[in-house]
Amino acid sequence: MSGTLSVRRNLELLGRYQYIEIQMMELMGSWASTIVDPEIKIGFGRQMYQDAVHADLLGRRIPELKGRSAHFHLIPPSDDVVRLIESVWKAQGDLKRLVGLYRVLKPALIGTYRDHIAMAELPADEPTAYILRHIADEERDHCAWAENVLSRLPADPGTGAWGHDLAESLHAAGGFSGAGTARGTYSFTKVHEYSTLPVRDSRWNVIAEPGEFTEKNWSFDTQEGKLHLLHDLLNSEFITVERMGRILADFPGIPWQMKLDMARQAWDEARHAEIVQRRLEELGGRVGMFTTSCWGWEQDVNRPDPLERLALSNMTFESESCKHLRDWIKKAKEGGDGRSVQLLEFLLADEVNHVLYGVHWIDELTKDDPDRRARVLAYPARVLEGQHPVGVRFDETINARGDEP
Ligand SMILES: [Fe+2]
Ligand SMILES: [Fe+2]
């Protein structure tokens, strides 16, 4: 890039940046359930949302520059760059994936943003510079977070060469500004094999038979009950980061606001995992102290209709979770456990929104399709028939709106 950037050149570039931000969000979403390390899962939950917000900010600036047509949005920089992102997506192992995303793709994007800011026509194009400065700062934070994680992962000598080759290929492909290349036409879909369970690190003891799972029978009015329930909830928070990631990666064609909602939920659940683990440990507990169950995972992430996933998990499981949280808050108040009350009230506020995401998107996307609506709303009952894990009650859930009583 050279000279001062015109309106027209801005439009070409912002559409490309938007495409890359969304690709990065989808990479994390696709990987989250197969990444063992819980800190990485939590980081992905947070950054999926931040990259979604970056794409949203770019998408708002494009029409301000008279780019109102769809072709100004989501521009693949070049076929070679798209193939390179595909090769990062296919990389096996936490280390290679992190190196590809945080030592090659994100640093290259930060460099591209800095070049853009340096060539912005100021103050005429201060709005673009303002957005890019904000995004570049957050991307730099993502890279710093990843370096911290990478420093404690076992090194692999082959990974450095892989990252180096990737960076050279990206440069040769014209980078994210698409310099000297035609607009890309190649695309790939992030397909996922049938999944029976998300991966967990060796501390967890995941049981296969839901009928043997009794953790939800505990009550929040004793110390032991709190440990059992928080431990079970922690696993559910990880599951929800993972299943939101899968929706983002599996369904690139869903409405943009729905993607923002799903990414927001991934961030909420990532924070919940941090909060719940901290409270568990404050109360003397630890990850893996009890058995856990990922029941419902298989029935969720393999469904070809994202609305069936939301009907089952957001409108049914999370609606159930709201009732549990209200009960825990009541018992914690009665027991004088103000610290748990303080945290659980924040969790409940978020969970109510998650139920509403399910209600809203099912309502909105099936308003002209009664057959789909009937199939989607019938799905939870099909799954739950005769398969309730012990202690779970699914009454009055399907039409629950999650509102505070
Ligand atoms: Fe949650
Ligand atoms: Fe939730």
Ligand closest to Cα of 310 equals: 2
pLDDT range class, residue 397, cuts 50, 70, 90: very low
The mean pLDDT value for 216-239 works out to: 96
Å from CA of 276 to ligand 1 middle: 9
191 Cβ contact list (under 8 Å, min separation 6): none
Q: What is the pLDDT of residue 399?
A: 43
Ligand closest to Cα of 346 equals: 1
Span 272-298, pLDDT tens digits: 999 999 999 999 999 999 999 999 999
Å from CA of 314 to ligand 2 middle: 7
Å from CA of 355 to ligand 2 middle: 8
pLDDT, greater one: 318 or 208: 318
The mean pLDDT value for 7-16 works out to: 95
pLDDT range class, residue 392, cuts 50, 70, 90: low
Å from CA of 272 to ligand 2 middle: 8
Cα–Cα dist 113/135, whole Å: 8
Q: Is the pLDDT of residue 390 over 80?
A: no
Å from CA of 263 to ligand 2 middle: 12
Q: Is the pLDDT of residue 87 over 60?
A: yes
Packing angle of the helix pair 126-150, 7-31 (nearest 10 deg): 30
Ligand closest to Cα of 238 equals: 1
Å from CA of 352 to ligand 1 middle: 10
Classify 21 as helix, strand or coil. Answer: helix
Å from CA of 169 to ligand 2 middle: 40
Span 146-184, pLDDT tens digits: 999 999 999 888 899 999 999 999 999 999 998 777 888
Classify 257 as helix, strand or coil. Answer: helix
Q: Is the pLDDT of residue 201 over 70?
A: yes
Q: Is the pLDDT of residue 111 over 50?
A: yes
Hey, how many other C-beta atoms are within 10 angstroms of the C-beta on 396?
A: 10
Q: What is the pLDDT of residue 386?
A: 65
pLDDT above 70 covers a percentage of the chain that reads 95
Span 27-53, pLDDT tens digits: 999 999 999 999 999 999 999 999 999
Å from CA of 24 to ligand 1 middle: 23
Query: Is residue 219 a contact partner of residue 331, using CB atoms and an 8 Å limit?
Result: yes
Q: What is the pLDDT of residue 307?
A: 98
Å from CA of 105 to ligand 2 middle: 30
Cα–Cα dist 113/163, whole Å: 21
Cα–Cα dist 79/85, whole Å: 10
Å from CA of 354 to ligand 2 middle: 5
Residue whose structure tokens are 């909830």? 233
pLDDT range class, residue 2, cuts 50, 70, 90: low
**What are 143-150's contacts with CB under 8 Å, separation 24+?**
143/102, 143/103, 143/106, 143/107, 143/110, 145/43, 145/47, 146/43, 146/98, 146/101, 146/102, 146/103, 146/106, 147/102, 149/37, 149/39, 149/40, 149/43, 149/98, 150/95, 150/98, 150/99, 150/102
Ligand closest to Cα of 343 equals: 1
pLDDT, greater one: 355 or 402: 355
Å from CA of 136 to ligand 2 middle: 29
Element (H, E) at 349: helix 338-365
Ligand closest to Cα of 314 equals: 2
Q: What is the pTM of this model?
A: 0.94
pLDDT range class, residue 405, cuts 50, 70, 90: very low
The mean pLDDT value for 171-198 works out to: 91
Å from CA of 401 to ligand 2 middle: 14
Which residues does residue 206 pair with via DSSP β-bridges, in sequence order?
A: 292
Å from CA of 272 to ligand 1 middle: 5
Å from CA of 76 to ligand 2 middle: 33
What are phi and psi for residue 304, nearest 5 degrees?
A: -75, -15
Å from CA of 268 to ligand 1 middle: 7
Å from CA of 313 to ligand 2 middle: 9
Query: Is residue 72 a contact partner of residue 11, using CB atoms and an 8 Å limit?
Result: yes
Å from CA of 326 to ligand 1 middle: 13
307 Cβ contact list (under 8 Å, min separation 6): 361, 362, 365, 366, 372, 376
Helix extents (H) in 151-304: 157-172, 223-250, 256-282, 297-301
CA-wise closest residue to 101 among 31, 42, 10, 38: 31
Q: Return mean pLDDT, the chain.
A: 93
Q: What is the pLDDT of residue 208?
A: 81
Ligand closest to Cα of 351 equals: 2
Classify 143 as helix, strand or coil. Answer: helix
27 Cβ contact list (under 8 Å, min separation 6): 85, 88, 89, 97, 101, 190, 249
